[in-house]
Amino acid sequence: MDFAVMIFLSSGLFLGWSLGANDASNVFGTAVASQMVRFTTAAVVCSLFIMLGAVFSGAGAAHGLGALGSLNTLPGAFMAAFSAALTVLWMTRLGLPVSTTQAVVGAIIGWNLFSGSLTDLGVLSKIVATWVACPLLGALFGAILYKLMVMLIAWSKIHLLRLDAYTRWGLILAGAFGSYSLGANNIGNVMGVFVSASPFTDFDVGDVFTFTSVQQLFFVGAIAIAVGVFTYSKRVMMTVGSSLLPLNPQAAWVVVVAHSLVLFLFSSVSLEHFLASRGLPTIPLIPVSSSQAVVGAVIGIGIMHGGKGIRSLRWRVLGNIASGWVTTPIIAAVLCFFSLFILQNVFDQKVYQTVEYRLSPEVVQHLKGAGVSTEPYGAVVGETIAGSKRFRLHLQEQAGADPDQLQQIVGASEIYPTRIDPGKLQALREANRGYLSGVQLASIEHLEGRSFSHKWQLAQALEAQSNSWKFREKTTLNKIYNGQLQERLGYVMEHFHQDD
Amino acid sequence: MAANKIALFGKTRRLESEIDDFLDTVSQGGILFEETLRHYIDKGPDEFFEQRQQQISDIESNGDRLVKGIVRSLYSEMLIPESRGDVLSLLQDMDYLLDQFEKICFCVDVERPEVGDVSADLRKSFQDLAHVAVAAVEDLIRSVRAFFRDFNAVRDHLHKVHLLEEEADRLSLYLKRELFRSEFPLSRKLHLRQFIDMVDGIADEAEDVADRLAIYTIKRSL
Task: Decide if A36 and B13 are in contact by the 8 Å CB cutoff.
Answer: no
Co-location of A189 and A274 in the same domain: yes
Last residue of a domain, one of A295, A315, A345: A345
Task: Decide if B152 and A154 are in contact by the 8 Å CB cutoff.
Answer: yes
Per-residue confidence (pLDDT) for residue B2, from 0 to 100: 45
Task: Decide if A164 and B79 are in contact by the 8 Å CB cutoff.
Answer: yes
Q: Is residue A91 part of a domain?
A: yes
- CA–CA separation, A97 and B52 (whole Å): 64
- CA–CA separation, A208 and A229 (whole Å): 31
Q: Are A46 and A257 a contacting pair, CB within 8 Å? A: no
Domain hosting residue A400, numbered range: 356-410
Nearest to A444 by CA among A426, A431, A456: A426
Residue A60 has pLDDT above 50, yes or no: no
Per-residue confidence (pLDDT) for residue A268, from 0 to 100: 76
Q: Is residue A424 part of a domain?
A: yes
- φ, ψ for residue A470, nearest 5 deg: -95, 130
How many domains is chain A partitioned into structurally?
Answer: 3
Higher pLDDT: B3 or A55? It is A55
Measure CB to CB from residue A161 to each of B5, B80, B220 and give the nearest one. Answer: B80
Q: Which helix (H) or strand (E) holds A356?
A: strand A356-358
Co-location of A310 and A365 in the same domain: no
Name chain B contacts of A153, Cβ cutoff 8 Å: 222
Task: Decide if A164 and B149 are in contact by the 8 Å CB cutoff.
Answer: no
Co-location of A436 and A329 in the same domain: no
Per-residue confidence (pLDDT) for residue B3, from 0 to 100: 46
Name chain B contacts of A35, Cβ cutoff 8 Å: 78, 81-82
Q: Is residue A351 part of a domain?
A: no
Distances (CA, A) of A233 to A42, A236, A331, A350: 10, 6, 21, 35
Question: A368 CB contacts (<8 Å, ≥6 apart)?
Answer: A374
Q: Which of A71-75, A395-399, B32-36 has the highest mean pLDDT?
A: B32-36
Compute the half-sphere exposure of residue A155: CA atoms within 13 Å on the CB side of its CA: 6
Percent of chain A with pLDDT over 70: 95
DSSP A60-84: PHHHHTTTTTT--SHHHHHHHHHHH
Name chain B contacts of A146, Cβ cutoff 8 Å: 222
Q: Is A407 exposed, middle or buried (0-12, 13-18, 19+ CB in 10 A)?
A: middle
Q: Is residue A289 part of a domain?
A: yes
Q: Is residue A25 part of a domain?
A: yes
Co-location of A15 and A31 in the same domain: yes
| Closest residue in B to A45 (Cα–Cα) | B1
Distance from CA of B1 to the nearest CA of A (A): 11
Nearest to A271 by CA among A279, A259, A261, A282: A282
Q: Is residue A283 part of a domain?
A: yes
Last residue of a domain, one of A345, A366, A394: A345
DSSP A90-146: HHHHTT----HHHHHHHHHHHHHHHHT----HHHHHHHHHHHHHHHHHHHHHHHHHH
- SS3 string of B58-99? HHHHHHHHHHHHHHHHHHHCCCCCCCHHHHHHHHHHHHHHHH
Nearest to A75 by CA among A339, A332, A355: A339
* A301-310: average pLDDT: 83
Higher pLDDT: A204 or B110? It is B110
Co-location of A405 and A369 in the same domain: yes
Per-residue confidence (pLDDT) for residue A312, from 0 to 100: 79
| Closest residue in B to A250 (Cα–Cα) | B222
What DSSP designation does B45 have?
Answer: S
Last residue of a domain, one of A292, A323, A345: A345
Q: Is residue A82 part of a domain?
A: yes
How does residue B222 score in pLDDT terms, banded at 50, 70 and 90? low
Co-location of A268 and A232 in the same domain: yes
Q: Between β-strands A451-452 and A418-419, what pairing exists: parallel, antiparallel or unpaired?
A: antiparallel
Measure CB to CB from residue A248 to each of B9, B19, B222 and give the nearest one. Answer: B222
Co-location of A157 and A114 in the same domain: yes
What is the residue type of A301? I
What is the residue type of A266? F
Co-location of A385 and A424 in the same domain: no
CA triple A421-A422-A423, angle to 5 deg: 90
Q: Which helix (H) or strand (E) holds A418?
A: strand A418-419
Percent of chain B with pLDDT over 70: 96
Residue A70 has pLDDT above 70, yes or no: no
Residue A181 has pLDDT above 90, yes or no: no
Co-location of A233 and A133 in the same domain: yes
- CA–CA separation, A251 and A143 (whole Å): 10
Co-location of A492 and A364 in the same domain: no
Measure CB to CB from residue A35 to each of B9, B19, B81 and give the nearest one. Answer: B81
Task: Decide if B149 and A158 are in contact by the 8 Å CB cutoff.
Answer: yes
- CA–CA separation, A398 and A387 (whole Å): 17
Mutation for B interface: A160, A242, A254, A301, most B CBs within 10 A? A160
| Closest residue in B to A169 (Cα–Cα) | B5
Measure CB to CB from residue A162 to each of B12, B81, B150 and give the nearest one. Answer: B12
Residue B1 has pLDDT above 50, yes or no: no
- CA–CA separation, B25 and B35 (whole Å): 15
How does residue A64 score in pLDDT terms, banded at 50, 70 and 90? very low
Per-residue confidence (pLDDT) for residue A500, from 0 to 100: 58
Co-location of A379 and A426 in the same domain: no
- CA–CA separation, B95 and B89 (whole Å): 10
- Terminal alpha carbon distance of chain B: 30
How does residue A62 score in pLDDT terms, banded at 50, 70 and 90? very low
pLDDT in tens, A282-292: 887 777 788 88
- φ, ψ for residue B45, nearest 5 deg: -80, 85
Q: Taking the complete model, does pTM exceed 0.90, yes or no?
A: no
Between A and B, how many CB-CB pairs are < 8 A? Answer: 53
Task: Decide if B222 and A169 are in contact by the 8 Å CB cutoff.
Answer: no
* ipTM of predicted complex: 0.87
Q: Is residue A350 part of a domain?
A: no
Co-location of A230 and A334 in the same domain: yes
Residue A65 has pLDDT above 50, yes or no: no
Q: Are A218 and A54 a contacting pair, CB within 8 Å? A: yes
Percent of chain B with pLDDT over 90: 80
Provide the angle, in degrees to the nearest 10, between the axes of the packed helices B84-111 and B2-43: 30
* A409-428: average pLDDT: 89
